[in-house]
Amino acid sequence: RKEVEQDPGPFNVPEGATVAFNCTYSNSASQSFFWYRQDCRKEPKLLMSVYSSGNEDGRFTAQLNRASQYISLLIRDSKLSDSATYLCVVTTQPYFAGGYNKLIFGAGTRLAVHP
Amino acid sequence: GAVVSQHPSRVICKSGTSVKIECRSLDFQATTMFWYRQFPKQSLMLMATSNEGSKATYEQGVEKDKFLINHASLTLSTLTVTSAHPEDSSFYICSAVEDRSNQPQHFGDGTRLSIL
């Protein structure tokens, strides 16, 4: 079983749509959770951290359910520029450990936003 | 902002060739760098943790004699794929952690390696 599982998609949505991605992780000892964005043939870029209380950054909302080992990302009012692959990432260390965490990546969910 | 430069961005070479990839932190010092590999439509997989002045730590299943890592300075780590074969064709990405507390990993822009 993969440590981090995501629906590969693609999700094809029109501009302005709301789209949600889900992710499950297998290691109950996971402590820190992130969503990254990766454009085709590019490096991953941190989109947002995910906290137990849920957090929002503009059009993006992330939720964490530790009991179900489940993470979600909601994108509202989709833009063409949101087209990318969204990577769910977990680590077994706390957020304050910073970059020394071993990052466990999901294979990503591809989003295609069309006019 | 923190910038990590990776070179070369694209390599095409014959089977049996050894290929060296450089990862540089341009405006910060990084005692720790990471090397990842990503096959098409798959997740980034950590290959090894590179530590300045000491031996790299390899993940399970990664051959240390095949993937040589050298982290000779606080701003440079190199990954050498020795005697590369077509199955080594992949996207290799490095990341670096600034030597200050609570800093994220900054990723290089990757090297696409194609072995013919």
**Are B42 and A107 within 8 A, CB to CB?**
yes
pLDDT-derived band at A1 (thresholds 50, 70, 90) equals confident
**Are B98 and A99 within 8 A, CB to CB?**
yes
What average pLDDT does this structure show over B58-71?
94
pLDDT tens by residue, B77-113: 999 999 999 999 999 999 998 877 667 789 999 999 9
Look up residue B52 and give its amino acid. Answer: E
φ, ψ for residue A28, nearest 5 deg: -65, -15
The mean pLDDT of chain A is: 92
pLDDT tens by residue, A14-46: 999 999 999 999 999 998 899 999 998 889 999
**Nearest C-alpha in B relative to A109:** B41
How confident is the model at residue A69, as a pLDDT? 95
| Mutation choice for A interface testing from B44, B49, B89, B102 by most A CBs within 10 A | B44
How confident is the model at residue B105, as a pLDDT? 86
pLDDT tens by residue, A75-89: 999 999 999 999 999
What average pLDDT does this structure show over A89-100?
77
How confident is the model at residue A2, as a pLDDT? 83
pLDDT tens by residue, B17-62: 999 999 999 989 998 999 999 998 889 999 999 988 889 999 999 9
Spatial separation of the C-alpha atoms in residues B106 and B103, rounded to whole Å:
9
How confident is the model at residue B45, as a pLDDT? 94
Burial B75-104 (b: 16+ CB within 10 A, else e): bbbbbebeebeeebbbbbbbbbbbeeeebb
- Concatenating the DSSP letter of every residue in B16-45 gives T--EEEEEEESSS--SEEEEEEE-TTS--E
**Are B104 and A99 within 8 A, CB to CB?**
yes
Which residue is it, tokens 């095949």? Answer: B66
